[in-house]
Structure formats: C-alpha cells, structure tokens
Amino acid sequence: GKSEVGSRKSEPSGPLEPQELETQTQKPRGPEPPSPEPSTVHRPPQAPPAPEPQSPTGPQPLPQKKSLKKGGAQDTPRLMALEAMLAEVKAEEAELLTQEVQEVTQERVEEAWNLYLESQDQESVKVIMRNSELKLEGQNVLVTVTSALAENTIRQEGNLMEYMRDVLTAPELTMTIEIDKSKAVEPPKRKRMMSSKDKYLAMREVNPNITELQKRFDLRPDE
C-alpha cells in the first residue's frame, strides 16, 4: 500500500557520494560569535632611524689653522712688514697729537736756522748760512743767497729741512733757494804786472818833480 510507496521515496535512489555523506554525518553548528573588535592602541610616534655612519675610505687630515699672531710660525715676511708699517704710522700719529702746536713765525724760523748752523762742524757752511737771508711766506721759507756755491752748499744739507720741521712742529714746511746777483760778491781783480811807464806815471802823481828829473837825465820811461 501507501507505506511502502512513502518508504521508497525516502530511500536513496543510489549510493551517496563521499561529500554528501560527510555533510549528512556532521552536526549542525550554531551561529559563530562575532569577533571582538581590535582595541585601539596609542603608540608614540617613532623618529626615523638615523642613517648608519659610513666608514671613510681612508684617513683624512684635519685642516690646519694659520696663526695670525706676530712672531708665529705661519707669519709671512709680507704680513710682518705690514704690521711694522702700521705700528710706525700709529706711533707717528700719536707723537704728532701729543706735541704742542705753535704758530710758525719769522722769528722762530730764524732761531731754528741759527741753531742748525751752530751745530755744524764746517766753518764754510756756517759762513754761508749766516750770510743767507730768510723770509717766511706761508708754509715756505725763502732763502736768498749770493752765489751758486752757496745755493749748492745749502741744498747738500739733507737734514736741514727735517730739523726745521721738527723744531717748528710744521711737517708741511718747505724751502726755496734763490740767488740774488745784485748782492753777489765780486771776486777781487787780478793785479797785472806794471810796466816802466806805469811805474813812472804812478811816481809822477806822487811827486811832480819827477818830470824835471826825467828831462834833466833824458829818461825815457816809455821804452
């Protein structure tokens, strides 16, 4: 009857496959619990890794520092000369500032001139400087002499102007030399030998009686 038909329908029509057999033998699983959400972890920011130092290929010498101190081993002759010049200029400027500035007058120029000539050993130089005339014209001293020899003698005194500038405290003082021919001393005339006539004429001027003697004795002074 009906029971047989129903039982037949429930029976498998053929042998089950291994996959189907495994599916039927496994028990049904319940719903899987939700996976917990990962908790947020606060981590401090990390600095980037420092680059690894690279080893040098070979030893590198350190740069040498040049010493600029005076007298050092690295000083060059040019640098030392420059420092010496600067020191000399500063010393001269300081000396000029400390000196008392006085007005240059005709009287002071003559005093300095006389002090210099008295310090000379050669008497000829003293005589020429004593016979020279000085005239102050601003910052220039006009020296008037009577001969070219006197001019050359004064020009050869190389320390004269330096001495005058130091004594008068006048570094810009100059000197001009000129020859005044009107005051030149004429050299003495050379005496020539007197002839017999010259002697007779000279004797006649002193004693007029010489004329009578000349006539009495028939003297001929012209011969």
Q: Domain of 134?
A: 106-183
- Whether 77 shows a pLDDT value over 70: the answer reads yes
Q: Both 170 and 197 in a single domain?
A: no
Q: Quick check: helix, strand or coil at residue 39?
A: coil
In total, how many domains does the chain have? Answer: 2
Q: Which residue has the higher pLDDT, 170 or 79?
A: 170
Confidence of residue 209 (pLDDT cuts 50, 70, 90): confident
CATH of the domain at 160: 3.30.300.180
pLDDT of residue 199: 78
Confidence of residue 70 (pLDDT cuts 50, 70, 90): low
- Does residue 156 lie within any of the structural domains? yes
- Does residue 20 lie within any of the structural domains? no
Assess contact for 142 and 209: CB atoms under 8 A.
no
Alpha-carbon gap, residue 150 to 28, rounded angstroms: 149
Q: Both 164 and 118 in a single domain?
A: yes
- Does residue 45 lie within any of the structural domains? no
Of 213, 140, 135, the C-alpha closest to 180 is: 135
Q: Both 153 and 221 in a single domain?
A: no
pLDDT of residue 6: 46
